Chains A and B, each alone.
Chain A
Amino acid sequence: MALLEIKNLHAEVDGKKILNGVDLVVKKGTVHAIMGPNGSGKSTLSYVLAGKPGYTVTEGDVLLDGESILGMEPDERAAKGIFLAFQYPLEIPGVASMTFLRTAVNAQRKRRGEPELSTPEFMKRVRWMAEKLEIEPEMLRRAVNVGFSGGEKKRNEVLQMSMLEPRLAILDETDSGLDIDALRIAADGVNRLRSPECSMIVITHYQRLLDYIVPDVVHVLSKGRVVKTGGKELAHELEARGYAEYQDDAAA
């Protein structure tokens, strides 16, 4: 059954229309890639799904498990299982990564009526995940993303995702700024989360990431609409031919 249904979604930022009728259905356990030229609305879509203030939906709806999420606060959506891996993760001075993670995990569990994780259990999980992602324990004691390299920030996003166990993970350009080794580590982390319980939307400009996180479905977004949908081979076509045919009058 469909986990996520996006119906004729129109959205604008600062009065500027960015999304112009996006339709998309994500089934449980499937991985969807969204590709498209710069400015096609990929990041906007991810922010609208996560509920970022300032992004106004003017038409259409977004349903999670058949229930509209548009009226929900960002933290409510997070507790429902939506996770956004940010293209540019934010720095939070003075707040240790470990504290941040524990606060987030337990805030979500509490909201869902689940018991909080005991400290030893939490620590055990974090350490295990961190090791897989080649994140030094020292990094967890440092403030969230402060002084982290681009690769470290992205791996930290994947670590958060692993700990928060989302049902819908949205990865916004997780590959940007990563070298090939860092990309593989991050992708391995994402792949470990693939399960019938977890769906994903992988947003990327390049096909490269999709060699590591192989999608079930690929969509092309252009001028705020899904203009083409296909299998994983569509990504290769795009890599070879570029986005020119999807933005022919974009220059106008």
Chain B
Amino acid sequence: MPAVQETVDQVRRIDVDKYKYGFVTDIESDKAAKGLSEETVRFISAKKGEPEWMLQWRLEAFRHWQTMREPKWARVHYPPIDYQDLYYYSAPKKKKSLKSLDELDPEILRTYEKLGIPLREQEILAGVERPDGTRSRVAVDAVFDSVSVATTFQKELKQAGVIFMPISEALREHPDLVRKYLGTVVPATDNFFATLNSAVFSDGSFVYVPPGVRCPMELSTYFRINEKNTGQFERTLIIADKGSYVSYLEGCTAPSRDENQLHAAVVELIAHDDAEIKYSTIQNWYPGDKEGKGGIYNFVTKRGECRGARSKISWTQLETGSAITWKYPSCILRGDDSRGEFYSIAISNGRQQVDSGTKMWHFGKNTTSRIISKGIAAGRSNNTYRGLVTTSRGATGARNFTACDSLLIGDKAGAHTIPYIEAKNSKAVFEHEATTSKISDDILFYCRQRGLSAEEAVALVVNGFVKDVLQQLPMEFAVEAQKLISISLEGSVG
């Protein structure tokens, strides 16, 4: 039976309105005092044992942030956030520094087991079977609230020359490398949420792939917010040096809580000449209940720069979680002949609000970009695609193709498309198309006449609708993604 049946089975196993990852891990944690001040910034920096320049960088960001106002242009609505009523640092208490996973709090290990993320390498060795019979492996960096609790396969990656470690560790072990790249794609003053992140980020992943190296396995970071009233501010920095390749995936979940929680991450990608970075996201933060109570505010800034010639950055995202999503993974196409891609599936149900899309800045000659966005709005949700494609005068031969399709399920949801297309060079060619449609009753009847139940029919049609994008996800995650899609849409057919 194809995946459709699996997804339907999956849907049936889960009670309506129950988020699978909504449990809380009972663990003692080490927190900074509530609220945000220079003291908080200093506290975080000191906790991490950071070099002085890093502290100064943070403080500058913090001072700038105090002059900024929260952006209001996105199509999302939420009550004002009290930034003084949040914890900015929370880490599981540990007795001493860990020598092996066996010393990690068993509660945390169990948490990741429950989430289906094995942290013991021997358990991962089995891996996922590929169609050709080989088995793939995935290295995981597990970030729990504000800190990384474990990173697997570090040794093996090191042999290949790949650096994959928590950014806090990288700041100690490779300070020059971090300093060279940090904030060069998303400046510390970029926008309200990115600037806040620059001041208080606590952890995240750092990846450096040396020239000519093809990273031997998928890298992934698994983010988990556990603590109450805690903002999560992770920072990810990935550098692919000349001619290298890396595929990276992030997953996110959080407990079901009645209060909204803030997640303001920054991701920076840098691809040098002939390098390629493939960045995939499966975002499944707690979306709130069906009445819109609780859920994560997912306000993140993700940007990649194709710094070198012929480099390529590809963003793929599956957004199913969060009460509010505000994110625009973007590409700065600086190198000649570089390429940016954005593939997105954004599903909203219940009272979720999504305002997501991308920006493609064409600076180099013969740069190309491709945007495929699939928005699915069900329940009483609102789902907005917002995208910018622009050329500089010098971007001769630039090309963009954009296709945004929205699918509405039910008559209480809203689907919106807001593209900005700015052509400033006659030798550039831009094509954009967008459609909005619903799952027609006729198609549902056709499927049911062939014997599919209503749920199976919707799952089938939606999987068909998002197929182009799903294919962009690494094989290891595609199946999980397909399941997630059906689960997110549960209860959407009447």
Query: CB–CB under 8 A between A and B in the complex?
Result: yes
Q: List 14 A-B contacts (CB under 8 A).
A: A73-B454, A75-B450, A75-B453, A75-B454, A92-B443, A94-B463, A94-B465, A94-B467, A95-B464, A104-B452, A107-B450, A108-B451, A116-B1, A143-B464
Contacts of B460 in A (CB 8 A): 92, 95, 99-100, 103
The interface on chain B, measured as residues whose beta carbon lies within 8 A of the other chain's beta carbons, has a size of 27
- Rounded to whole Å, the gap between the CB of B371 and the closest CB of chain A is 18
Contact among B442, B453, B463 with A95 in the assembled complex (CB-CB below 8 Å): B463
* CB nearest neighbor in B for A78: B451
Chain A 90-131 residues near chain B, CB threshold 8 A: 90-95, 99-100, 102-108, 111, 116
| A92 in contact with B456 given A53-B445, A74-B445, A106-B1 (CB within 8 Å) | no
Q: Is B2 a contact partner of A102 (Cβ separation < 8 A)?
A: yes
Chain A 61-76 residues near chain B, CB threshold 8 A: 73-75
For the A-B complex with A74-B448, A100-B450, A102-B2 known, give 4 more contacts whose Cβ atoms are closer than 8 Å.
Answer: A73-B453, A75-B449, A84-B449, A100-B447
- Rounded to whole Å, the gap between the CB of B192 and the closest CB of chain A is 38
Interface set of B (CB-CB < 8 Å, partner A): 1-2, 4-5, 440-443, 445-454, 456, 460-461, 463-468
Contacts of A78 in B (CB 8 A): 448-451
- Rounded to whole Å, the gap between the CB of B344 and the closest CB of chain A is 15
Contacts of B443 in A (CB 8 A): 90-92
* CB nearest neighbor in B for A160: B450
Contacts of A105 in B (CB 8 A): 451
* CB nearest neighbor in A for B3: A99
Q: Is A103 a contact partner of B2 (Cβ separation < 8 A)?
A: yes
Bound complex: CA A243 to CA B467 (Å): 48
Q: Is B449 a contact partner of A74 (Cβ separation < 8 A)?
A: yes
Contacts of B440 in A (CB 8 A): 90
Bound complex: CA A107 to CA B447 (Å): 11
Bound complex: CA A164 to CA B460 (Å): 18
- Rounded to whole Å, the gap between the CB of B367 and the closest CB of chain A is 29
- Rounded to whole Å, the gap between the CB of A141 and the closest CB of chain B is 12
- Rounded to whole Å, the gap between the CB of B259 and the closest CB of chain A is 38
Contact among A51, A75, A89, A91 with B452 in the assembled complex (CB-CB below 8 Å): A75
Q: Is B1 a contact partner of A103 (Cβ separation < 8 A)?
A: yes
* CB nearest neighbor in B for A116: B1
Q: Is B451 a contact partner of A164 (Cβ separation < 8 A)?
A: yes
Contacts of A164 in B (CB 8 A): 450-451
- Rounded to whole Å, the gap between the CB of A108 and the closest CB of chain B is 4
Bound complex: CA A79 to CA B460 (Å): 18
Bound complex: CA A108 to CA B441 (Å): 21
6 closest cross-chain pairs (CB), A and B: A94-B464, A95-B464, A94-B467, A74-B448, A104-B450, A108-B451
Q: Is A106 a contact partner of B450 (Cβ separation < 8 A)?
A: no
Q: Is A103 a contact partner of B449 (Cβ separation < 8 A)?
A: no
Bound complex: CA A12 to CA B5 (Å): 35
Q: Is A93 a contact partner of B453 (Cβ separation < 8 A)?
A: no
Q: Quick one: which of A73, A86, A100, A111 has the most chain B CB within 10 A?
A: A100
Bound complex: CA A111 to CA B449 (Å): 14
- Rounded to whole Å, the gap between the CB of B225 and the closest CB of chain A is 34
Q: Is B451 a contact partner of A111 (Cβ separation < 8 A)?
A: yes
Contacts of A50 in B (CB 8 A): 445, 449
| A75 in contact with B451 given A95-B461, A99-B2, A103-B2 (CB within 8 Å) | yes
* CB nearest neighbor in A for B439: A92
Bound complex: CA A91 to CA B2 (Å): 20
Contacts of A99 in B (CB 8 A): 2, 4, 460
Q: Is A93 a contact partner of B464 (Cβ separation < 8 A)?
A: yes
Bound complex: CA A102 to CA B460 (Å): 12
Bound complex: CA A76 to CA B446 (Å): 13
Bound complex: CA A108 to CA B449 (Å): 10
Chain A 197-226 residues near chain B, CB threshold 8 A: none
* CB nearest neighbor in B for A82: B449
